[in-house]
C-alpha cells in the first residue's frame, strides 16, 4: 500500500511536467514602445501584440522558445522574432522566465535582449494558460525600448518523451 501511494505521488508530480514536450504558443497583449530610427523618426505609445510560437522542452525546467510577433498600432505594422530559453518551475501552477534575443525586422531593424516573467496554470497535461510581463531593448537602424504584458495559451504534445 505504501509503495502504491508513493508511485501514484510520483505520477502526479510528472503529470504537469513539460519534459519531452513540443508546444504551440498563441498569445495576445499590449506593449508600450519607444523607438527612434536613424532618420530621427520616433514612435512612442501603446501597441497591440499578437504572438505565435513554439517550445521544445529538453528538461523538466528548460525549454527552447521561438516566437514570431505582429504588432499593430503606430505608423506601420511591426514584425519581430524572438528566440531563446524559457525556465519554469512548479507543477500545476508554474512560474517562469524567458531570456530571449529579439530581432525586430519591420518597420526598422533592431536586435537586442528580451526578458519576461510570468505565471502559467495547467488546465490539463496538454493545455496551459499563462500571463507574462516583459521588457526589451534593441539597437540597429533604430534604438528601441518596449515593455509588454501578454496572455496566452500553450498546447503541448509529448512527441519526444
Give the model's pLDDT for residue 40.
Answer: 65
Residue 124: count of CB within 10 angstroms of its CB: 10
Q: Which of the pair, 40 or 12, is modelled with greater confidence? A: 40
Supply the DSSP string of 65-94, one letter for each residue.
EEEEEEEESSSS-EEEEEEEEEEEEESSEE
Backbone angles phi, psi at 74, to 5 degrees: 80, -155
- Rounded to whole angstroms, the Cα distance separating 161 from 138 reads 36
Average pLDDT, the chain: 87
pLDDT of 3 > 70? The answer is: no
pLDDT tens digit sequence for 92-110: 999 999 999 999 998 889 9
Give the model's pLDDT for residue 7.
Answer: 37
Residue 29 to residues 26, 46, 59, Cα–Cα distance (Å): 11, 10, 28
pLDDT of 83 > 50? The answer is: yes
Give the model's pLDDT for residue 161.
Answer: 66
Q: Which of the pair, 66 or 3, is modelled with greater confidence? A: 66
Structural domains in the chain, sorted by start: 2-157 (2.40.160.20)
- Per 3-state DSSP, the chain is made up of helix, strand and coil in percentages (nearest 5) of 10, 70, 20
Give the model's pLDDT for residue 126.
Answer: 92
Residue 39, Cβ density class (10 Å: 0-12 exposed, 13-18 middle, ≥19 buried):
exposed
pLDDT tens digit sequence for 15-65: 677 777 899 999 999 999 998 877 766 778 999 999 999 999 988 889 999
Q: What percent of the chain has pLDDT over 90?
A: 63
Amino acid at each position: 500500500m505504501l509503495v502504491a501511494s508513493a508511485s501514484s505521488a510520483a505520477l502526479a508530480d510528472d503529470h504537469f511536467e513539460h519534459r519531452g514536450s513540443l508546444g504551440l504558443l498563441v498569445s495576445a497583449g499590449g506593449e508600450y514602445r519607444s523607438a527612434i530610427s536613424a532618420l530621427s523618426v520616433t514612435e512612442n505609445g501603446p501597441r497591440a501584440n499578437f504572438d505565435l510560437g513554439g517550445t521544445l522542452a529538453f528538461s523538466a525546467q528548460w525549454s527552447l522558445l521561438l516566437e514570431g510577433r505582429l504588432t499593430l498600432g503606430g505608423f506601420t505594422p511591426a514584425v519581430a522574432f524572438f528566440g531563446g530559453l524559457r525556465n519554469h518551475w512548479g507543477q500545476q501552477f508554474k512560474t517562469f522566465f524567458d531570456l530571449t534575443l529579439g530581432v525586430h525586422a519591420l518597420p526598422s531593424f533592431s536586435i537586442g535582449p528580451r526578458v519576461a516573467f510570468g505565471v502559467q496554470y495547467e488546465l490539463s497535461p496538454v493545455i496551459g494558460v499563462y500571463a507574462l510581463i516583459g521588457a526589451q531593448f534593441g539597437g540597429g537602424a533604430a534604438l528601441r525600448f518596449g515593455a509588454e504584458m501578454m496572455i496566452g495559451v500553450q498546447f503541448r504534445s509529448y512527441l519526444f518523451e
